[in-house]
Chains A and B, each alone.
Chain A
């Protein structure tokens, strides 16, 4: 197990280094270089030369890359002249809020999607299956900004029970103090996720219900509930682990559209605003963070697999 973990960690590290290399290259492919991007069109050549010298941009590339890595390791992701704060600081301010939004909506989605998928599988090709299927297809096909707008119109205009905007608290605690503002963004984000998850769970449960081991379980005279909960569910939930692993990056990136729509002060909104203002340090910093999160997400999913599925555990542990 330890060996397996170390191997996977090693692989993850290599990928992360590749990602830093790519972001580094992008930084240097910017039209007119970083100086132009940061100082603006009006800057004189002297100003640019001075800036480049100050930032070390006139040194050989490999040396710059080494410095870039060195700064990264120290948590220095660069400085945003537009926000007038370090990239790291900007991220640290917003990341917890995005994670709150993503975690809450994922949790909600899983809690709703698992029973839905199971019901669909058990009653497959009958009306509960068809109904849920139609609804989830509808949810899946609806653009998320439209869904969000509908939510706002319904729940804060027609029937004004919830605020249309997320609370603008500066810290996480301030946001939590106003939970009503979290409901609409969380639910909007969850609806799409439910649609995706329940389809995966349905097909995985259908596959499992047709397995021979389920017939064996029934031959023991178990009730249908016990067959499903005791035997099929665990095997049927494997795809959810993969999905959760793939979803981890979203915890960091935030749902761009939803955050913009509800003016939710998280990573998505940060990225959106940076993109409009060409704030490259922020864009690249966030990109790097998401890349790392993607790699870590895959790693976490693999480890979870090993924890849940004895077959994976053993194959890894035998060395």
Chain B
């Protein structure tokens, strides 16, 4: 390290342990990192990689039982570990600021916004109440809060998620920190809101001349925003370098695998079927002693040397600061080409398996009996689509657009307000109780959080047998045989049957969830955000499995997700929903590459792309917030936020077109001629 150049923050061999009842987890093992003034460092890694523990160690906010056990945290040349408690609190409260992942729970529910935002000033600078309030208004205005002088007196629950995240940012900024730490600041937010927040952090970094540490699992978020990147795996930094360099030529095999596992990379792979590259196995258990490269057990290039030698970060020799800890590094560049997936073969003009016509679902607004109905929430407002046998229909949209409600209605979990759901030629509404009961065999659900969807006190055996018992399928022996077959299909060992849900990882739970929905040999599976809670490498495993099963069993999927790249990878056709309406529907490659509705375009623009300097980080973001579904805008529901809106948009545009339909008076493109 040159003597003249002192980084703002430098971690030297930082090690952190977390004491749990079942043993000690060595969450961080000799982490070395540095952040310069005014620079954005991205820390990327999957869950359990230690990225969050790193920043919590810096802030001294480790959870109960956690403690830094070795190394130095040099902030501005001083080791924070050696500071008095009071001085440490001052550094934390004045020189650093932190933005957390979940804005909904990060604010005190019983304290006014203004009081929470201004609290650091009141505590550390002894500023009076009135002045603190003024400063809070000022900083709230700065982070783009509408009517800040009113918001200061509000409580957190009165604001949307995006607005609450702005409040948390304001709270971090009011102290003019020199280092802003953002831990997954946009993971809980919709893409359009995510974009607003990331841009805000970028702008503020320049204005306040802060250094920023951006922690995320999302390579796309890092690519667009960070100057330098550190990739973490199992409590260690495995690779670090400038963003451009690292994305152009990742050297560590883990970084490479992570990039290849992105759905965006599917088309770049040689495999004609577009299978995703997935990393086999699971990250190591950090409560056990580990030797050698921690990625070795999952790495296809690992040799015996990898399993026995500890590899330190070494420079790549080009002098650009690119360092990696790998004995068999990547030598050829791994370009993630912007995918140009070939259109999948159309499934022909077979009779649709599922037909939905003018589906409407409204809920009573308001709580349980306390107040009378003052309006109706229009969750789904006249949605129509078909799903052919063996086809995947992707439904995308932001939270509150009604996509999950459509899934629940199709699966028969809730009755619709009006409209038709026709499964295999039979209108579900015309069926009696018993017939509808049997109909449920045809349509099954797969959930986002399979753990929450399983009874924690039931063994996997009972969980998988239950649907067969309810539908009275076969005798006990036949059921046992069926359950074993299901496990084979989803790639889990037989011994899983004896275990309970909490003993499995997220990816394994999704496999069990899939097995359960397959138990009754359905023809259609409604998968509601099936991979949203998973890490990229595991997500790839589950997506591959879902496609293999589709091919093998001739399944249809209604694949609901907020993630356009995943839907693009999985779906034959895509429907885009906005505030209860289907605004665009068509073949997946067309919708994603040549969108016709301005909302679809805005959604695509907002998705952070894992290509540094890629065009998608330009373009215009949607402004404003999703309107309320109680009394939604008349006519086109997107018109209140649409850059192209005219007077005519107050009348409702029909969903029109041949194979690529759009509901817009001013479609961005004409439909390409049928070929």
Contacts and interface: CB of A to CB of B under 8 A. Distances in A.
B458 interface: no
A277 B234 CA distance: 76
Given A213-B107, A220-B171, A221-B89, A226 B155 contact: no
Contacts of B110: 234-235, 308-310
A234 B112 CA distance: 13
B159 to A, nearest CB: 12
B92 A221 contact: yes
B372 interface: yes
Contacts of B97: 219
Contacts of A314: 155, 157-158
B631 interface: no
B93 A319 contact: no
Given A221-B123, A309-B110, A310-B110, A3 B371 contact: yes
Contacts of B175: 220
Contacts of A289: none
Interface string B88-122: 11111110111010100111111100000001100
A316 B370 contact: yes
Contacts of A310: 109-110, 155, 157
A10 to B, nearest CB: 11
Residue with the highest number of chain A CB atoms closer than 10 Å, among B110, B124, B168: B110
Contacts of A213: 105-109
Contacts of B108: 213, 216-217, 231, 235
B59 interface: yes
B371 A218 contact: no
Prevailing SS type, chain A contact patch: helix
A39 interface: no
Interface in A215-262: 215-223, 226, 231, 234-235
Given A211-B105, A235-B109, A222 B370 contact: no
Contacts of A210: 64
Interface in B155-171: 155, 157-158, 168, 171
Nearest to A218: B61
A84 interface: no
B320 interface: no
Interface string A131-145: 000000000000000
A212 B374 contact: no
A217 B100 CA distance: 12
Nearest to B101: A212
A79 to B, nearest CB: 41
A24 interface: no
Nearest to B121: A220
A4 interface: yes
Contacts of B317: none
Given A213-B105, A234-B110, A220 B371 contact: no
B369 interface: yes
A28 interface: no
Contacts of A218: 61, 92
A157 interface: no
A59 interface: no
B435 to A, nearest CB: 41
A306 B171 CA distance: 27
B61 A7 contact: no
A221 B94 contact: yes
B502 to A, nearest CB: 19
B89 A223 contact: yes
Contacts of A278: none
Contact of A212 (B105, B120, B157): B105
Interface string A149-168: 00000000000000000000
B367 interface: yes
A221 B124 contact: yes
B59 A222 contact: no
A4 B370 contact: yes
Residue with the highest number of chain B CB atoms closer than 10 Å, among A213, A218, A309: A213
B106 A216 contact: yes
A319 B109 contact: no
B350 to A, nearest CB: 50
Contacts of B168: 216
Given A210-B64, A234-B110, A219 B370 contact: no
A222 B89 CA distance: 7
A311 interface: yes
Contacts of A308: 110
Contacts of A4: 370-371
Nearest to B154: A310
A316 B369 CA distance: 10
Interface string B189-209: 000000000000000000000
A219 B157 CA distance: 21
Contacts of B94: 221
A315 interface: yes
Nearest to A212: B105
Interface string A301-319: 0000000111100111011
Contacts of B102: 212
A276 B250 CA distance: 88
Contacts of A222: 89, 93, 119, 123
A311 B123 contact: no
A315 B120 CA distance: 30
B91 A221 contact: yes
A311 B108 CA distance: 12
Interface string B430-451: 0000000000000000000000
Nearest to A231: B108
B370 A221 contact: no
Given A7-B370, A319-B372, A319-B374, A220 B105 contact: no
Interface string B114-145: 00000110011000000000000000000000
A220 B536 CA distance: 33
B55 to A, nearest CB: 10
A234 B116 CA distance: 14
A219 B98 CA distance: 7
A220 B123 contact: yes
Contacts of B124: 221
A27 B280 CA distance: 75
Interface in B378-397: none
A216 B109 contact: no
A216 B171 contact: yes
Sorted nearest first, the 7 A-B pairs with minimum C-beta distance are A221-B93, A319-B371, A221-B89, A221-B92, A212-B105, A310-B155, A219-B98
27 contacts: A4-B371, A7-B370, A210-B64, A212-B100, A212-B106, A213-B106, A216-B106, A216-B107, A217-B119, A219-B172, A220-B92, A220-B120, A220-B175, A221-B93, A221-B94, A221-B123, A222-B89, A222-B93, A226-B123, A231-B108, A234-B110, A235-B108, A310-B110, A311-B109, A314-B158, A315-B370, A316-B371
Given A222-B123, A231-B108, 17 more contacts: A7-B369, A7-B370, A212-B102, A215-B61, A216-B106, A216-B107, A217-B119, A219-B96, A221-B88, A221-B92, A221-B124, A223-B86, A231-B111, A310-B109, A311-B155, A314-B158, A315-B371
Interface of B: 59, 61, 64, 86, 88-94, 96-98, 100, 102, 105-111, 119-120, 123-124, 155, 157-158, 168, 171-172, 175, 366-367, 369-372, 374
